[in-house]
Amino acid sequence: MVWSCISWYGVGYIVDVGKNMDKNVYLSVLQDDLVKSMTGYCEENDLIMADFEFMQDNGPKHKSKIVSEWLSKQDFTTMEWPPQPPDLNPIENMWNTLKKRLFKQYDCPPASMDELWTRMFETWYEITEKECQIYIETMPQRCIDIIENKGLWINY
């Protein structure tokens, strides 16, 4: 399983979280990789943590007590967000972009897990800041479309 984040300033660190991500693994990822990603965005763009709003779906591990308590102590804001539909989470578009590029860039499947991870990491970091911005900019219209479609799937 893979975790990463995106922001207006580009993609964050991408990490292998193993086969399962429970609340403890998720908390560790936030403490290490989310913070590293946000710190990098801050250093590169003259920002502070309070400039960020963190968005996650409200799956059980995301809403666990230990994760909620940790998030409440951070300098950034955490947005309230429903667990569904995934149409409203721009990171899902980035995962789709990653998958499409992996299939397009390579003629044959990877020979090993190490090769898969190498390809995935290289391809992830090729995603541009502008691509992230495009997905983020679509959010207001997505919300309108979901409301108009009574919560059903939309075309994003």
pLDDT higher than 70, residue 152 = yes
Structural contact between residues 132 and 10, judged by C-beta atoms closer than 8 angstroms: yes
2 CB-side CA count, 13 A: 19
The tokens describing 14, both together, are: 């991408």
Q: For position 141, what pLDDT does the model report?
A: 87
Pick 2-148's CATH classification: 3.30.420.10, 3.40.50.150, 3.40.1160.10, 3.40.50.300: 3.30.420.10
- Phi–psi pair at 2, nearest 5 degrees: -120, 145
How confident is residue 156, by pLDDT bands cut at 50, 70 and 90?
low
Q: Once rounded to an integer, what is the mean pLDDT over residues 110-125?
A: 95
With left for phi above 0 and alpha for psi between -120 and 50, is residue 49 left, alpha or beta?
Answer: alpha
Contact 40, 11 (CB under 8 A): no
Q: pLDDT for 43-101, tens place per residue?
A: 999 988 999 989 887 778 888 999 999 999 999 999 877 666 666 788 888 999 999 99
Q: For residue 98, report the phi and psi dihedrals to the nearest 5 degrees.
A: -60, -50
Average pLDDT value over all residues in the chain: 90
Share of the chain above pLDDT 70, in %: 96
